[in-house]
Chains A and B, each alone.
Chain A
């Protein structure tokens, strides 16, 4: 991040949206994490310019804003794919074979953990635990949780998301 840049080059629309988020949390004593969560929710990630803008608006050092944004695994300073896949890597899922699920996702999409497909459709991540350990191995696509996965089921799910570029799969 270029911490020296002073005038962020955000579009006025983006700038306004960030203002709205900050306004929403103005009565809270230390809302930084919530604001970052919310801004990421709107834009999908936190760009350098957004972080600088947030830091200036809240009068918090950019270093601190950047520090928080990079500490938490669900906050991202890089753009992500349209669909975010989080394969559960917790112990029960591991015992039930999550490795082969992860490999199936990697094979199907041709990307590794932390990467995004060239068409910008999928980002692959892992998560420590989704808390549905009884139906492992499990993964989450966006906000939807899938359990009892097999390699075949993974392929089916991903192909449905790939085909259904617009809406979510139900």
Chain B
């Protein structure tokens, strides 16, 4: 250990919290105290480092060593062997998925090597509860530059020139939106941050708010200055209590330091910020529904125009941007629009954060330049599919998006390329599915979600998605009829064209895109009453393999309909007298079986197959 202070980072993102990082941090403080290292070692609880599946994660900052799956019992070794002794603790190091070799440093790991962190620049690096750590990494410098050296018009021009497009889903040019709001007549104006993040599978906004709340606050103040607003609101979904807590804490700190409130940094400009918490409704992520919810109403969308920029919160001009969009603002101001345009593609500059989840080795948050091929994200950064299974498809854009099949693995991940494939960037959820996934089941799953979340205001969404879901339900139960697939297609197109808001307009996407790329799977369900992936339980028939069955009877205990019985010993062909089975094997009575799958999950010997 050298003379300086040794910083030990413990990831305290929600993923690591669920795997027990708090106990690890407590153990660290204790061991450090007992070893008389108090002033020398600093334990920093950071926001999400990104590799959530490896949690709890500890990083020794001085040499960049990355430790995974750390338990409180491992802590003394980290302190004694590594921090004091200088030898990394081998058993906690990461190994490359390909070569099995150690990847000691965070920067060695393939998961991090391919990433370019702009929005996530501070996540996993600083203590989100400390404004000083944020300031130490150029925090609030962009704000000070804007207030001292730039006119509102110049700020808008810089954002316009950067080509930044909204990260909330639609990809609308951010600079234009700022200009429309600035030009709209009406006072007061509002700046709203959309932190409703409803897309199942996307969690970058949560990580940003938990890991770097000041970057959002700073950007919102800059936006307020640019569009002429003095009041900002952050609408956070109720499912993110930790994000609400850290953001509220950061707002208080910023106010104490004079970054929020009246006459900010002596500029004469004033801005205040409030947090509003939702109450569980996906549709509130849609901007007009979100505004209705802030106004204390049912969160239902309304037709546009007028757009919020002209008539938003309480009928006043309102700028509404996504969390990740805001996270890009300060770096653009500090480094200039040309720097930003130098990354990504022509029409989609900059980076995008993706939430990798599903059947993939490395799950978590990854930030890559726009236009990075899907293959790179899945196989290099994501480390491929577990269990040596094949890649089947990736779903982007959650329930509003579509799937990308294997033949398009090389698609550049940017707004326009994805739209062309019938998928969608959406908010950046990227769910990887292996060959054992049933695409009809997945389509049904997403449609079930949008159907549940439909607010019921317009008929195409309320009734149309219901009818589509009924058809899919039939198909997965083996009751599909000739013509069902065509009916799904025509219903889907009609709903896309006629629904009131983005929720309904995009609801058919998962169905349409799975039909487009996996029509044969639909046909197998409809014509042959067969689920090729063996997922649709109603189409499965459960059988116990006599040779593998040990007669333990666990399956009998979980069978809800009493369909499993022992086979009379004599009845087992070839079994008579040869082996003396203590316990007879079991068999499933197909006429009673409801195909719930409980027995399969329970069997320790893999004896039950579909």
Q: A31-B296, A107-B558 are in contact. Are A91 and B18 (CB under 8 A)?
A: no
- Asked whether, in the complex, the Cβ of A37 is within 8 Å of the Cβ of B279, the reply is yes
Q: Which residues of A90-135 are within 8 A (CB) of B?
A: 90-92, 94-96, 99-100, 103, 107, 127-135
Residue of A nearest to B597 (CB): A100
Q: CB-defined interface of B423-464 with A at 8 Å, one 1/0 digit per residue?
A: 000000101010001000010011001001101000000000
Query: Which one of A34, A68, A133, A148 contacts B297 once the chains associate, using CB atoms below 8 Å?
Result: A68
Instruction: Say yes or no: is A143 at the interface (Cβ < 8 Å to chain B).
Output: yes
Instruction: Say yes or no: is B47 at the interface (Cβ < 8 Å to chain A).
Output: no
Instruction: Say yes or no: is B264 at the interface (Cβ < 8 Å to chain A).
Output: no
Q: CB-defined interface of B553-578 with A at 8 Å, one 1/0 digit per residue?
A: 00000101000000000000000000
Smallest Cβ distance from A123 to chain B, in angstroms? Answer: 14
Smallest Cβ distance from B107 to chain A, in angstroms? Answer: 20
Q: CB-defined interface of B244-268 with A at 8 Å, one 1/0 digit per residue?
A: 0000000000000000000000000
Q: Which residues of B49-86 are within 8 A (CB) of A?
A: 51-53, 55
A123 to B241, alpha carbons, bound, how many Å? 20
Q: Which residues of B contact A127 (CB under 8 A)?
A: 239, 280
A131 to B442, alpha carbons, bound, how many Å? 19
Q: A33-B293, A34-B277, A94-B445 are in contact. Are A133 and B357 (CB under 8 A)?
A: yes
Instruction: Say yes or no: is B15 at the interface (Cβ < 8 Å to chain A).
Output: yes
Tell me which of A1-9, A11-19, A72-80, A159-167 binds B.
A72-80
Q: Which residues of A contact B277 (CB under 8 A)?
A: 34, 37
- Asked whether, in the complex, the Cβ of A132 is within 8 Å of the Cβ of B280, the reply is no
A76 to B241, alpha carbons, bound, how many Å? 18
- Asked whether, in the complex, the Cβ of B363 is within 8 Å of the Cβ of A134, the reply is yes
Instruction: Say yes or no: is B384 at the interface (Cβ < 8 Å to chain A).
Output: no
Q: A94-B445, A131-B206 are in contact. Are A33 and B18 (CB under 8 A)?
A: no
Q: Which residues of A contact B19 (CB under 8 A)?
A: 135, 147-148
Q: Which residues of B67-124 are within 8 A (CB) of A?
A: none
A130 to B279, alpha carbons, bound, how many Å? 14
Q: Which residues of A contact B51 (CB under 8 A)?
A: 134
Residue of B nearest to A103 (CB): B598
A142 to B336, alpha carbons, bound, how many Å? 45
Q: Which residues of B contact A87 (CB under 8 A)?
A: none
Residue of B nearest to A33 (CB): B296
Residue of B nearest to A31 (CB): B296
- Asked whether, in the complex, the Cβ of B446 is within 8 Å of the Cβ of A91, the reply is yes
Smallest Cβ distance from A62 to chain B, in angstroms? Answer: 14
Query: Which one of A34, A131, A143 contacts B203 once the chains associate, using CB atoms below 8 Å?
Result: A131
Residue of A nearest to B205 (CB): A131
Q: Which residues of A contact B282 (CB under 8 A)?
A: 128
Instruction: Say yes or no: is B472 at the interface (Cβ < 8 Å to chain A).
Output: no
Instruction: Say yes or no: is B364 at the interface (Cβ < 8 Å to chain A).
Output: yes
Q: A91-B445, A128-B282, A135-B53 are in contact. Are A145 and B200 (CB under 8 A)?
A: no
Q: A135-B55, A145-B17 are in contact. Are A129 and B279 (CB under 8 A)?
A: no
Q: Which residues of B contact A73 (CB under 8 A)?
A: 279-281
Query: Which one of A32, A143, A147 contacts B241 once the chains associate, using CB atoms below 8 Å?
Result: A143
Q: How large is the interface on B (under 10, 10 to 19, 20 to 34, 35 or more residues)?
A: 35 or more
Q: A67-B298, A135-B15, A147-B19 are in contact. Are A34 and B445 (CB under 8 A)?
A: no
A67 to B15, alpha carbons, bound, how many Å? 35
- Asked whether, in the complex, the Cβ of B431 is within 8 Å of the Cβ of A129, the reply is no
- Asked whether, in the complex, the Cβ of B293 is within 8 Å of the Cβ of A136, the reply is no
Q: Which residues of A contact B437 (CB under 8 A)?
A: 95
Q: Which residues of B309-326 are within 8 A (CB) of A?
A: 314
Q: Which residues of B352-370 are within 8 A (CB) of A?
A: 355-359, 363-364
- Asked whether, in the complex, the Cβ of A95 is within 8 Å of the Cβ of B358, the reply is yes
Residue of B nearest to A126 (CB): B452
Q: Which residues of A contact B213 (CB under 8 A)?
A: none
Q: Which residues of A45-78 are within 8 A (CB) of B?
A: 64, 67-68, 71-75
Instruction: Say yes or no: is A20 at the interface (Cβ < 8 Å to chain B).
Output: no
Q: Which residues of B contact A128 (CB under 8 A)?
A: 198, 200, 282, 449, 452-453
Smallest Cβ distance from A76 to chain B, in angstroms? Answer: 10
Residue of A nearest to B446 (CB): A91
Smallest Cβ distance from A70 to chain B, in angstroms? Answer: 9
A50 to B428, alpha carbons, bound, how many Å? 41
Q: Which residues of B contact A31 (CB under 8 A)?
A: 296
**Please, could you name 28 A-B residue pairs with CB atoms under 8 Å apart, sorted by A?**
A30-B314, A32-B296, A33-B296, A37-B277, A64-B297, A89-B449, A91-B398, A91-B399, A91-B445, A91-B449, A92-B357, A94-B445, A103-B598, A127-B280, A128-B452, A128-B453, A129-B198, A130-B14, A131-B197, A131-B206, A131-B240, A133-B200, A133-B203, A134-B356, A135-B52, A143-B241, A145-B18, A148-B18
Q: Which residues of A contact B (CB under 8 A)?
A: 29-34, 36-37, 64, 67-68, 71-75, 89-92, 94-96, 99-100, 103, 107, 127-136, 138, 140, 143, 145-148, 151
Besides the known contacts A89-B200, A95-B357, A146-B18, 17 further A-B residue pairs in the complex with CB atoms under 8 A apart:
A33-B279, A33-B293, A33-B294, A34-B296, A71-B298, A72-B280, A91-B446, A92-B363, A95-B358, A95-B431, A103-B596, A103-B598, A128-B200, A128-B282, A129-B199, A134-B357, A135-B19
Question: Would you list the 8 A-B pairs with minimal beta carbon distance, nearest first?
Answer: A90-B200, A134-B52, A32-B296, A72-B279, A74-B280, A92-B357, A134-B363, A73-B280
